């Protein structure tokens, strides 16, 4: 919010000029359209590979063939969806975000990575490491992941409109298809009362620019562990399209030992898609592991585990 | 090394220029600066400026009441009164309030005015005088003079306007070898703002 020494008169002029030239200003009338027209303009429902083993087949569409309902996997997150992943620390949220960005960029889809928690050099190093673990040459994706360092530049973190303007600039300049924000929580730290407003602005922005977006949300200690409630309450999950809840559980009974096949005192990570308004999705709680090379893998459902073996 | 956006590429939001636009529009709503002079109410201006900033900081920058109070150097309660003001109520009361000289403008009145002005700006209706001035400058740079003439002719009309109102005043204006009256059918029946009007004419020209 620091006052710049820019020529205010010039800025007023620029605003007017942009205002005259920018056709997006007059949107109210255009926002009313009959269903038939809206359907014509509606995007095709298709998947974008997540880069996370075990996730792509969990989103599906249903078709009716010969009177029977058939599930057809999307092969990834629904395109143009805003996906929110929530969990306590060390559940693998950032790893998932990185895998998504790397996979998408390896497919030629430029991805903007807004880092709010860790500065760009560390994110860059982490992305390179993750790419190698995924069997992707880091050099091949360097031009397709654009990092916006909101951890280093306060104005991006503190002023939502500056962040949105910068995102719009980056999407146009680099022809981006995806946006990752790690984490949205960092954008309303110490002012959770604004969480809903900020996430709504981000959500609307992603829709306007036809981006598939992946938001990371952090939990506070008081939140129920395996829910999508995060900092800002339930504001975030209510707004976004899809929610994924991650949790950690300690093995503290012989029943757990048998179920998870791990000794007492160990930790298991759990994964659940907690809702997706765009398409059908798996609803089971699943075992999630982080491999030695730091990759998130989503495995069997607890129901399957109970049925026998990991 | 991954590509990192340069600090020079950060598109900083200019809250000052938007707040000034809101302030000027609020002035226009109450009849312009001359009216404030006439009723000896020029002391309202600081409150109006604060209210303009408060409304922009809330709606554009998602600032909290505390942050706005700190930025403007005013009490949090004043910010709250500004932001909770009912613009419609202020609109109704305005004429009476303006005619009674007051040293200070109540926070809720300033807030209501700023909110009204902000809504107008969002719908594309900036302070017309200033808008015309900048359009004139731009038009002279590009050697296109019809926008100036159109804005001059519609001066005093309250937006939204109808095509009939427009043609009543400007049907004879020549735009790229055509009369504005020839373009009438291709213009929207209701025109929300001067900027929409100019854009619609440009589009109608093909």
ipTM of the complex as predicted: 0.75
Residue window 78-117, chain B: list those with CB within 8 Å of chain A: none
8 A C-beta contact, residue A163 and residue A199: no
How high is the mean pLDDT of chain A? 86
Mean pLDDT of A79-88: 94
pLDDT of residue A295: 96
Comparing A15 with B142, which gets the higher pLDDT? B142
- pLDDT range class, residue B109, cuts 50, 70, 90: confident
pLDDT of residue A189: 86
pLDDT digits (tens, 9 = 90+) for A198-233: 999 999 999 999 999 999 998 776 666 677 777 666
Q: Verify whether the Cβ–Cβ distance A169 to B18 is below 8 Å.
A: no
pLDDT at A116 over 90: yes
pLDDT of residue A222: 66
Mean pLDDT of A69-90: 92
pLDDT at B141 over 90: no
pLDDT digits (tens, 9 = 90+) for A136-173: 999 999 999 999 999 999 999 999 999 999 999 999 99
Percent of chain B surpassing pLDDT 90: 42
Strands A212-218 and A82-87: parallel
Minimum-distance CB partner of B1 among A28, A124, A191: A124
Minimum-distance CB partner of A120 among B4, B18, B199: B4
DSSP three-state, residue A48: strand
Residue window 99-138, chain A: list those with CB within 8 Å of chain B: 113, 120-121, 123-124, 127-128
Cβ-based burial of A234 (10 A; exposed 0-12, middle 13-18, buried ≥19): middle
Chain B residues within an 8 Å CB radius of A121 = 1
Query: CA-nearest residue of chain B to A155?
Result: B12
Minimum-distance CB partner of A15 among B2, B17, B64: B17
- pLDDT range class, residue A9, cuts 50, 70, 90: very low
DSSP A6-28: S-HHHHHHHHHHHHHH-GGG--T
- Per-residue DSSP letter, A230: B
pLDDT of residue A2: 45
Cβ count near A68 (within 10 Å)? 7
End-to-end CA distance of chain B: 47
Percent of chain A surpassing pLDDT 70: 82
Mean pLDDT of A275-294: 93
What's the CA gap between B18 and A12, in Å, rounded?
A: 8
Residue window 179-208, chain A: list those with CB within 8 Å of chain B: 191, 193-194, 197-198, 201
Strands A267-276 and A242-250: antiparallel
Question: With an 8 Å Cβ cutoff, is B123 touching chain A?
Answer: yes
Mean pLDDT of B37-46: 83
Q: Verify whether the Cβ–Cβ distance A155 to B10 is below 8 Å.
A: yes
> Measured in whole angstroms, how far is the alpha carbon of residue B194 from the centre of its chain?
11
């Amino acid at each position: 919010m620091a006052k710049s020494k820019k020529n205010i008169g010039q800025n007023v002029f620029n605003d007017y000029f942009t205002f005259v030239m920018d056709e997006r200003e007059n949107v109210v009338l255009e926002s009313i359209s009959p269903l038939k027209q809206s359907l014509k303009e509606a995007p095709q429902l298709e998947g974008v590979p997540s880069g996370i083993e075990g996730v792509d087949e969990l989103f599906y569409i249903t078709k009716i063939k010969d009177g029977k309902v058939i599930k057809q996997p999307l092969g990834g997150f629904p395109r143009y969806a805003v996906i929110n992943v929530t969990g306590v620390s060390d559940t693998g949220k950032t790893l998932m975000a990185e895998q998504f960005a790397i996979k998408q960029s390896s497919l030629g889809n430029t991805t903007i990575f807004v880092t709010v928690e860790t500065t760009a050099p560390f994110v860059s190093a982490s992305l390179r490491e993750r790419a190698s673990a995924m069997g992707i040459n880091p050099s091949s994706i360097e031009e397709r992941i654009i990092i916006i360092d909101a951890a280093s530049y306060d104005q991006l973190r503190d002023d939502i409109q500056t962040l949105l303007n910068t995102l719009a600039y980056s999407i146009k300049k680099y022809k981006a298809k995806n946006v990752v924000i790690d984490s949205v929580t960092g954008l309303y730290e110490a002012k959770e009362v604004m969480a809903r407003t900020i996430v709504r602005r981000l959500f609307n922005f992603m829709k306007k620019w036809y981006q598939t977006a992946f938001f990371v949300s952090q939990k506070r200690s008081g939140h129920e562990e395996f829910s999508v409630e995060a900092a800002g309450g339930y504001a975030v999950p209510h707004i976004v399209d899809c929610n994924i809840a991650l949790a950690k559980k300690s093995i503290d009974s012989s029943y757990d030992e048998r179920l998870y096949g791990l000794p007492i005192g160990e930790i298991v990570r759990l994964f659940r898609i907690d809702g997706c308004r765009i398409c059908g999705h798996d609803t089971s709680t699943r075992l999630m592991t982080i491999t030695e090379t730091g990759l998130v893998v989503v495995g069997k459902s607890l129901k399957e585990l109970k049925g026998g073996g990991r | 090394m991954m590509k990192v956006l340069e600090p020079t590429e950060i598109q900083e939001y200019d809250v000052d220029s938007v707040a000034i636009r809101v302030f000027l529009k609020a002035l226009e709503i109450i009849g312009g600066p001359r009216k404030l002079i006439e009723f000896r109410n020029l002391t309202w201006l600081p409150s109006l400026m604060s209210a303009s900033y408060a409304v922009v900081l809330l709606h554009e920058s998602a600032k909290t009441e505390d942050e706005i109070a700190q930025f403007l150097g005013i009490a949090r309660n004043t910010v709250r009164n500004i932001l909770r003001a009912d613009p419609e109520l202020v609109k109704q009361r305005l004429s009476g309030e303006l005619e009674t000289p007051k040293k200070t403008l109540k926070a809720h009145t300033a807030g209501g005015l700023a909110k009204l002005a902000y809504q107008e700006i969002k719908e594309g209706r900036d302070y017309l005088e200033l808008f015309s001035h900048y359009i004139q400058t731009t038009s002279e740079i590009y050697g296109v003079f019809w926008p100036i003439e159109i804005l001059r002719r519609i001066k005093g009309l309250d937006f939204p306007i109808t095509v009939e109102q427009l043609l009543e005043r400007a049907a004879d204006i020549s735009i790229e070898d055509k009369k504005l009256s020839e373009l009438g059918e291709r213009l929207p029946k209701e025109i929300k703002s001067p900027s929409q009007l100019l854009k619609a004419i440009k589009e109608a020209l093909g």
